[in-house]
Amino acid sequence: MESFNKAKAVRLRSHLDKYLVADDDCQTVRQSRNGSSSKAKWVVELVDNKSHVIRLKSCHGLYLTASEIPFLLGMTGNKVVQTEPEKLSDWNTEWEPIRDGFQVKLKSWNGKYLRGNGGTPPWRNSVTHDDPHTSSTQNWILWDVEEAELTESESVADYLSSLASFNSSVSDEILSELGSPRQVFPAKSPRFSPKQNKSSRFFRTTDSKKFRITDDSNKFRTGMDFFHNAKAVRLRSHHEKYLLAEEDEESVIQDRNGSSKKGRWTVELVPGSDSIIRLKNCYGKYLTASNQPFLLGMTGRKVLQTLPRRLDSSVEWEPVREGNRVKLKTRYGHFLRANGGLPPWRNSVTHDIPHRTSTQEWVLWDVDIVEIQVQSPGAKPSPPPIPHSDSVDLESTSPSSVSVKSGSFSRQESSDSYASSSPPKSEGRTIYYHIADENGDVEDEDIQGYSFTFKGNGVEELRRKFEEETGIEGVIVCTRSRLNGKLYPLRLQLPPNNVNMNVIIVLASSKAAKDLGKLGI
């Protein structure tokens, strides 16, 4: 509840890095990557006599509601919609936040959870309330909570709408001019803090009533505030050790000696983005989230120093504020993580998602600014020394071709059907997969998909494993030909020697599956 007690409004981000938004039809609730829209803002209302429950009101003045309408007949999930409840005691507008590490689960009236769905249409971008039935969908009910700043007109409209429910002297004309819906429901109390008076403004209504509006902009600082004016920084982990670039110009470790030049990281802002940075070390190389496992069979992947021929997203980090510290997130939602424990974990640095409560702080970093960026008012930032691109280096697509010394680093984002791997290991192979849509098309196929470890060699066994991991039944495991780009179902046995694979999953009920059948494939 602490994430909501302090916030007037929030944005909720799902495991897919998409935001919960209220559509303009004043009914649908879905996920969208555009979190800057007012449709992604949800005003927080505390529920009378229930300290552990909240309501969330959309920009349309409607409430996030767990309905009893099935999302699809025969499936377990029910629709989540926007509604105007007949009375605020209606339980289906109440949500109980339950903390899970850095994220929260929102439990509905019937014990199910707000769930951001993935997969193919109609599941893609949909929102339901349901229980996760398989291990691979556990994250679907986890949400990041970001405090959202209400504009002056939104704050006043929210205040007046709550006041209107208690005092009819506030006219509809005032509410409509401020962009508030004509029909609103009361909040628990006005959401202004009389204790904060450093930067206050007043708004006077037509009936001469005066309301104080507090500027809480300092409260809504983001992770980029640690880096905006920084030319160089040191990063200190929760172990009180600093992020260091080793002299081999490849490894990245933790060490208590933060005064060394190896602990100094120059900050570069990524052109065209105000929320992404690069970090360059004393050897002129970049902090890089590689695709190489730190240890086979473990989830963490190596963090290296590299100098790619093209500055792609593997060298880009998104600072996410967490109190007075920061998390550095990769493009795929992993975080820069300072490991503890026994060797080989001790003093190592990986990028991963903390799965246990005891390791939640391992992704938190203190930022020490060691040099401030000074620019004249009219100065423009200097262009990066290397052009930025997310394109794939087709000359180097396997982990075995990584050469950090020469600066040619591949993130294994190729769309090749089979990716080379290390010699056979008893732990099994890694299966990377994308799910095709109705027509067999794959969104972001050049980006590495989801993955799981598979120990078998049969296609039917792989298909069952996939259904177990995702909860999606009736699938065809396919690969894309490098010659003509067409999809072909895998038959009988998988390639030998536990070679890692990239596959594409086609739903058996889709048009693409029927087209494969017509071709006799």
d(CA 303, CA 181): 50
Residue 203 lies in a domain: yes
Tell me the residue ranges of DSSP E strands in 308-347.
Answer: 318-322, 325-329, 335-338
Residue 101 lies in a domain: yes
Residues 13 and 92 in one domain: yes
Of 357, 372, 387, the last residue of a domain is: 372
Residues 141 and 14 in one domain: yes
Residues 441 and 350 in one domain: no
Residues 17 and 124 in one domain: yes
Tell me which residue range forms the domain holding 237.
223-372
Residues 303 and 282 in one domain: yes
The secondary structure of 119-171 as a DSSP string is SSTTTTTBEEEE---SGGGGGGG-BEEEE-PPPHHHHHHHHHHHHHHH-TTS-
Residues 318 and 457 in one domain: no
Q: Kindly tell me if the per-residue pLDDT of 439 is higher than 90.
A: no
- Residue 342: Cβ within 10 Å count: 6
321-361 pLDDT, tens per residue?
A: 888 889 999 887 899 999 988 888 889 999 988 766 667 88
Phi, psi of 297 (to 5 degrees): 90, -10
**pLDDT: which is higher, 497 or 201:** 497
Residue with tokens 């050790």: 241
Of 124, 147, 170, the last residue of a domain is: 147
Residues 51 and 108 in one domain: yes
Residue 380 lies in a domain: no
DSSP state of 443: T
Q: Kindly tell me if the per-residue pLDDT of 112 is higher than 70.
A: yes
CA angle 278, 281, 286 (to 5 degrees): 45
Q: How high is the pLDDT of residue 351?
A: 93
User: Which residues have CB under 8 Å from 460's CB, separation 6+?
Assistant: none
DSSP state of 424: P
Residues 210 and 236 in one domain: no
d(CA 42, CA 95): 13
Exposure string over 478-495, b if 16+ CB within 10 A, otherwise e: bbbeeeeeebeebeeebe
CATH, residue 292: 2.80.10.50
211-225 pLDDT, tens per residue?
A: 333 333 333 457 888
Residue 36 lies in a domain: yes
Exposure string over 26-47, b if 16+ CB within 10 A, otherwise e: eeebbbeeebeebbbbbbbbbb
Q: Environment class of residue 145 by beta-carbon count within 10 Å: exposed (0-12), middle (13-18) or buried (19+)?
A: buried
d(CA 95, CA 78): 15
Q: pLDDT category, 201, cuts 50, 70, 90?
A: very low
Q: How high is the pLDDT of residue 464?
A: 84
Residues 44 and 91 in one domain: yes
d(CA 276, CA 93): 36
- What is the biggest distance separating any 2 CA atoms in the chain, rounded to whole angstroms? 80
Of 11-20, 106-115, 218-227, the least confident: 218-227
pLDDT-above-70 percentage for the chain? 70
CATH, residue 420: 3.10.20.90
Q: pLDDT category, 375, cuts 50, 70, 90?
A: low
Residue 402 lies in a domain: no
Residue 258 lies in a domain: yes
Please count the structural domains in the chain: 4
Residue 125 lies in a domain: yes
Residues 246 and 350 in one domain: yes
d(CA 241, CA 236): 5
End-to-end alpha carbon distance in the chain: 54
Of 127, 147, 167, the last residue of a domain is: 147
- Cα 190 versus chain centre, distance: 31
pTM of the model: 0.37
Residue 404 lies in a domain: no
Residues 229 and 93 in one domain: no
Residues 357 and 253 in one domain: yes
